[in-house]
Structure 1
Amino acid sequence: MLKFKKDLKLLCLLFLVLGLSACHVFRTRTNTRTVPSRVPYEQPEVKAKAEASTLMSTANLIKVARSYTGVPYRSGGNDQRGIDCSGLICNSFKEFGMKLPRVSRQQSEFFPAIDIPNIQKGDLVFFATTSNEINHSGIVTEVRSEDEIIFIHASSSKGVREDNMMNSYWKARFARACRPQFVK
């Protein structure tokens, strides 16, 4: 009977420790607030990842974005069955614990703006395709020359693909480029 009571006390202690560790009081709090429209640049909160291989870098960001190549376009889509341009950016950054706004226009205000001559791999690019307001986005995957800047995006007619943003269509609709702040 004495051994049973001792085992019962250990079991109760174990449940208490497990219960407290699951309690929200002991968890690390992460700010996952999205930035509303027209708010100045704000450094995003980043969750630490356990494995060094998942550290955020330009190469890893592009690799995640390219894993969606060929996925069909779906307005509001957020997975391999269908995705839109801002969903592609959100999902790519989400892999590294970064929560970005879900709308292209808001994404364009999340990181500091840069000029096209300074553009490089990993930069975000934004376009106004149907009006004067930003409604399309992508991630620069390669800078071959000043006339050939390749970006990945979710095309409404051809799904996730890479195109030259300096061709006549995209160049005429270019609105802004931004440089994400990565954790190395």
Structure 2
Amino acid sequence: MNKHISTYLIFIFIFSVSFFSCHTLRKESSKTSAKNNRSRSSNTARPGVASRTPVRKPANKPAPTKKPATVNNRPTYSRSPASAEIPKVVEVARTYSGTPYRSGGNDKSGIDCSGLICSVYSEIGVKVPRISWQQSEFGSEVGSLKDIKPGDWVFFVPEAGREGYVSHAGIVTDVRNQDEIIFIHASTSRGVREDNLFSNYFKGRFVKAMRPFQL
């Protein structure tokens, strides 16, 4: 009897151990499966999260375009005339005498004051500014009237005795005395002609003289 009871108890013990071991394994297996399912679900809901590989720049990325160098608005001048060429400047300027005035003109069919200066120097192979205000800033300013020489440029404002923008220009052709400084210019009413800087009309409008090249 006792032998049968002992055998029965041993059987019950082995069965219990096997049952609880399998139950534990099943729980662990279920937990692992559930964890894997959650991971797959999370990766499906957020594509690209699992892979943190950085986006690569294109291999053939074009080189950045360089900004062009700033170009100075001041024109490039071919050469500076020698002092011996000043008589030639005067001579060429006088060939334009009588040419009618034409705004924006550059030749003997019609010319304006700044065009006269530009064309005269162009004929002797020297490039100078075309616009009168640019011409009025080109070279070195002559300190006083008594220092003005042939070849210098003279500039005027529209109204006598008032400050204003440079509206007229000419080339000095002859300095006879302190009261006679002759310059050639393109008059709007009379065309290209020579006048005295100290005439009633021009004396009050004169503002400056420039020596375009150091002679």
Normalised TM-score (structure 2): 0.60
Is the CA contact 1:140–1:152 (under 8 Å) kept in the aligned structure 2?
yes
Which residue, 131, 136, 145 being the options, matches 2:177?
Answer: 145
Structure 2: runs of 5+ lacking an equivalent: 1-71
Which ranges of structure 1 fall in alignment gaps of 5 or more residues?
Answer: 1-32, 37-42, 49-53
Whole-Å Cα distance in 2 between the matches of residues 118 and 55 of structure 1?
15
- Aligned equivalent of 1:75: 103
CA deviations over 1:136-161 (Å, ceiling 9, x no partner): 10001111111111100000000000
State how far apart, in whole Å, the 2-side matches of 1:34 and 1:89 are.
19
Deviation at 1:34, TM superposition (A): 5.8
Alignment size in residue pairs:
140
Q: Which residue of 2 aligns with 1:35?
A: 74
Query: For the structure 1 residues 105 and 57, does the alpha-carbon distance in structure 2 shift closer, same or farther, using more than 3 Å as the test?
Result: same
Q: Please tell me whether residue 109 in structure 1 is matched to residue 137 in structure 2.
A: yes
SS at match of 1:57: helix
Is 2:202 the partner of 1:170? Answer: yes
In structure 2, the partner of 1:85 is 113
**Whole-angstrom distance in 2 between the partners of 1:181 and 1:103:** 17
Offset of residue 44 of structure 1: 3.8
Residue aligning to 2:79: 46
Task: Give the whole-Å Cα distance in 1 for the aligned partners of 2:110 and 2:120.
Answer: 14
SS state at 1:151 partner: strand
Q: What amino acid does structure 2 have at the position aligned with 1:117?
A: K
Amino acid at match of 1:82: G
2:154 matched residue in structure 1: 125
Bigger radius of gyration: 2
Q: How does 1:6-21 map to 2 (within 5 A)?
A: none
CA contact (8 A) 2:80 2:213 kept: no
SS at 2:204 equivalent: helix
1:161 aligns with 2:213: no
* 1:144–1:34 distance in 2 versus 1, CA, 3 Å: farther
Distance 1:102 1:34, change over 3 A: farther
- Cα root mean square deviation, aligned: 2.5
**Structure with higher helix content:** 2
| Structure-2 separation of matches of 1:55 and 1:145 | 20
Which residue in the other structure is 1:16 paired with? none
Question: Contact 1:128/1:134 (CA < 8 Å) preserved in 2?
Answer: yes
Whether the 8 Å contact between 1:55 and 1:96 is mirrored in structure 2 is: no
State how far apart, in whole Å, the 2-side matches of 1:86 and 1:34 are: 17
| 1:136 equivalent in structure 2 | 168
